[in-house]
C-alpha cells in the first residue's frame, strides 16, 4: 500500500477516480436531496415559541439563548477560545448562513482551533511517511504551514459559501413571492397573514425563503417593535433587494402609506434586479468558457484534424523506405 501511494501513476488514477466520483455526486445531488421544508418550518415554529416566551416574560435582550453543554462547548470554555479567536461579525455570518443558536458558535470556534493542527499534522505525516515528492526540508515546512493556514480559514470559507448559496436560493424565488404578497395584501389580508401565506406557498421553490418569511411572521407577532422584524429580515438575508423591501415596509409602517403601492414597486425592482443578474451571468459566460475550451476542446480538435494528415505522411514515409514493397503494390 505504501508503494502504491508513492507511485505517481496510482496517485493520478486515484485523483481521476475522485474527480469522476465528485462529478457523479454533483449530478445526482438534486435527485438525492430531500425535502427540508418540514424541518425548516419546525425550526420556525420553535422560534415562534421562543418569541412567545420572550414576550410573556418581558425580556429586554435581543434574542433568546439555548444552553450548549456539548464537548465542543467545554473545550471552547476551558481554552477561552472566544477571547483568543474573537470575531465580531461571527453571529451575523452564522445567521446569514442559516445557523442559529449557541451550538454553531461553539462549533465554529472549535473548528477554527482544531483544523489548523489537524491539517498541518496530516500534511506532515503524508510528506514524512507516504511521499515527500523529493521536496527539501524548507518546502516541506511550507506545505505544512499551508495546510495549517487552510485549516484556520476553512470555517470562514464554509460560512461564506453557505451564505452565498442560501442567498441565491432566496433571491431565486423572492420576486415571485413579492407578487404573491401583493395579491394577498390587495385582497385585504394583513401583512402578517400575507407573510404566513406566501411562506407556505413558496416552500416548494425555496425552503430558505419560506423559513425567513415564517420567522418574520413570528417576529411581527411577538416583537415589541414591528419595524425590527423587517430590519432583522434584511440583516439575515444580506441582499440589496430585500433590504430595499424592508426599508419600504418600515416607511409604510411609519407613515401609514399603502402596503400595496410599496410592494408593487419593490416587486418590479426585484424582477429587474433578477434580470440584470441573469444578463450579467450570460455576459460573463464567454470568458469563463475560454479556459475549458483551450484545455479540453482544442486538443481534441487538433487531434481530429491532424490525425489523417499524420497517417498520410506516415504511409508516404514507409513507402519511400520500402521501394520493393511499393513496386509490388
Give me the count of residues in the chain. 329
Number of structural domains the chain divides into: 1
Q: Does the pLDDT value for residue 283 go beyond 70?
A: yes
The verdict on residue 78 lying in a domain is yes
pLDDT digits (tens, 9 = 90+) for 209-258: 888 888 888 888 888 888 888 998 888 888 888 888 888 888 888 887 78
Domain with 139 in it: 65-170
Residue 8, pLDDT score: 72
Cα Dmax for the chain: 107
118 within a domain of the structure (yes/no): yes
Residue 30 belongs to some domain of the structure: no
Residue 226 CA from chain centroid, whole number: 30
pLDDT number for residue 60: 45
The reported pLDDT for the residue numbered 161 is 92
For the stretch 195-234, what's the b/e string if a residue is b when 16 or more beta carbons lie within 10 angstroms of its beta carbon? bbbbbebbbeebbbbbbbbbbbbbbbbbbeebbebbbbbb
Q: Is residue 188 part of a domain?
A: no
* Residue at 135 is within a domain: yes
The pLDDT tens digits of the residues spanning 43-100 come to: 767 777 777 676 666 444 444 445 566 777 788 888 888 777 777 788 888 888 888 8
Q: What number of CA atoms fall less than 13 Å from residue 35's CA on the CB side?
A: 7
Residue 134 lies in a domain: yes
CA torsion, ordered 161, 166, 172, 177, to nearest 10 deg: -160
pLDDT tens digit sequence for 144-154: 899 899 998 99
CA distances from 241 to 56, 212, 272, 274 (A): 34, 15, 10, 9
CA distances from 226 to 56, 60, 102, 249, 285 (A): 17, 15, 25, 10, 43
Query: Domain for residue 96, yes or no?
Result: yes
**Contact present, 12 and 137 (Cβ < 8 Å):** no
Nearest by Cα to 265 from 244, 280, 294: 244
The Cβ-side half-sphere exposure at 74, using a 13 Å CA radius, reads 3
C-alpha cell at 120: 498541518
d(CA 171, CA 159): 18
Asked whether residue 21 is domain-assigned, the answer is: no
Amino acid at each position: 500500500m505504501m508503494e502504491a501511494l508513492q507511485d505517481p501513476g496510482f496517485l493520478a488514477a486515484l485523483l481521476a477516480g475522485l474527480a469522476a466520483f465528485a462529478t457523479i455526486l454533483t449530478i445526482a445531488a438534486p435527485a438525492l436531496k430531500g425535502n427540508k421544508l418540514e424541518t425548516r418550518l419546525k425550526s420556525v415554529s420553535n422560534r415562534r415559541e421562543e418569541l412567545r416566551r420572550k414576550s410573556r416574560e418581558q425580556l429586554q435582550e435581543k434574542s433568546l439563548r439555548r444552553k450548549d453543554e456539548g464537548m465542543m462547548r467545554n473545550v471552547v470554555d476551558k481554552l477561552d477560545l472566544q477571547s483568543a479567536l474573537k470575531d465580531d461579525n461571527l453571529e451575523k455570518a452564522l445567521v446569514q448562513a442559516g445557523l442559529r443558536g449557541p451550538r454553531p458558535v461553539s462549533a465554529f470556534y472549535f473548528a477554527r482551533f482544531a483544523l489548523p493542527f489537524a491539517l498541518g499534522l496530516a500534511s506532515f505525516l503524508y510528506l514524512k511517511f507516504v511521499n515527500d515528492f523529493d521536496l527539501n526540508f524548507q518546502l516541506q515546512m511550507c506545505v505544512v504551514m499551508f495546510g495549517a493556514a487552510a485549516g484556520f480559514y476553512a470555517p470562514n470559507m464554509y460560512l461564506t459559501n453557505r451564505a452565498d448559496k442560501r442567498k441565491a436560493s432566496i433571491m431565486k424565488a423572492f420576486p415571485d413571492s413579492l407578487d404573491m404578497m401583493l395579491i394577498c395584501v390587495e385582497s385585504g389580508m394583513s401583512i402578517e397573514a400575507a407573510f404566513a401565506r406566501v411562506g407556505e406557498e413558496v416552500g416548494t421553490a425555496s425552503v430558505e425563503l419560506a423559513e425567513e418569511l415564517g420567522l418574520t411572521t413570528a417576529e411581527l407577532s411577538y416583537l415589541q417593535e414591528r419595524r425590527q422584524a423587517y430590519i432583522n429580515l434584511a440583516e439575515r438575508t444580506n441582499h440589496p433587494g430585500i433590504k430595499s423591501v424592508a426599508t419600504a415596509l418600515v416607511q409604510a409602517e411609519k407613515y401609514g402609506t399603502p402596503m400595496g403601492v410599496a410592494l408593487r414597486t419593490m416587486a418590479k425592482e426585484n424582477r429587474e434586479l433578477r434580470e440584470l443578474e441573469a444578463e450579467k451571468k450570460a455576459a460573463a459566460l464567454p470568458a469563463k468558457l475560454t479556459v475549458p475550451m483551450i484545455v479540453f476542446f482544442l486538443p481534441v480538435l487538433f487531434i481530429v484534424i491532424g490525425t489523417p494528415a499524420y497517417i498520410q505522411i506516415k504511409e508516404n514515409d514507409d513507402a519511400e523506405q520500402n521501394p520493393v514493397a511499393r513496386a509490388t503494390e
